Structure 1
Amino acid sequence: MSLTRMLLTVLLLANAWTGPAHAMDIGPAEARDLVKSGYILSFEKIASQALAIRPGDILETELELKKGRYIYEVEVLDAKGNVWELKLDASTGQLIKLELDH
């Protein structure tokens, strides 16, 4: 088996193992670079947008790259003690999904 064919096989197996829906967490340094370049909104803007949609206290925020799209996932604790997960497009701040976290 040629080296090229072997590498292709390994890459295909790796892709099958991780699956197409695999999301990659983005670290702080990369997030800063994306904000500076204007590609994504800052955490402050996303936090403001999330709290306008679901008032409360932010518990956790993650930035992920999923299917070629940067997405902020924000968990908010509301006044009734419910935890909500909001998924927002990191480039526009548009709400993608809102669900009660169980």
Structure 2
Amino acid sequence: MKTLTALITAAALALGANVAFARDVQPDEVVKLVNAKTIKSLDQLKTTAMAKHPGATVTDSELEDEYGRYIYKVELRDTQNVEWEVALDAKTGEVLKDEQDS
């Protein structure tokens, strides 16, 4: 029983630690990052995400700082009403994830 409790506690701490390292970037900070050329403009990133699913519409987007790396996440709905999540490296525009949202 102690082992199970320790395992659950360790899993909860690890999960909590991962969440703590991802934070939403506020709009005023986004402007500074774009102006400093630290990240691409959100319009450029959104265009890259939408190119993966032509005809799709953006339903949500956010810029997060994950472990010191800026990740732009875009949720899309395609013409067949399928939802997609596309994650991009905000500095390079590289597509990191493109998967159907469940």
Given the two structures, how large is their TM-score scaled by the length of structure 2? 0.80
For the pair 1:52 / 2:76, whether they are aligned, the reply is: no
Separation (CA, whole Å) in 1 of partners of 2:46 and 2:66: 20
- Find the counterpart in structure 2 of residue 30 from structure 1: 29
Separation (CA, whole Å) in 2 of partners of 1:41 and 1:80: 29
Deviation at 1:53, TM superposition (A): 1.2
Deviation at 1:18, TM superposition (A): 4.2
Any unmatched runs of 5+ in structure 2?
Answer: 1-12
Aligned runs of 1:21-100 on 2, under 5 Å? Answer: 21=19, 22-55=21-54, 56-100=56-100
Any unmatched runs of 5+ in structure 1?
Answer: 1-14
- Find the counterpart in structure 1 of residue 17 from structure 2: 19
What is the alpha-carbon root mean square deviation over aligned residues?
1.7
Given the two structures, how large is their TM-score scaled by the length of structure 1? 0.80
CA contact (8 A) 1:20 1:67 kept: no
Aligned residues: 88
- State percent identity of aligned pairs: 38
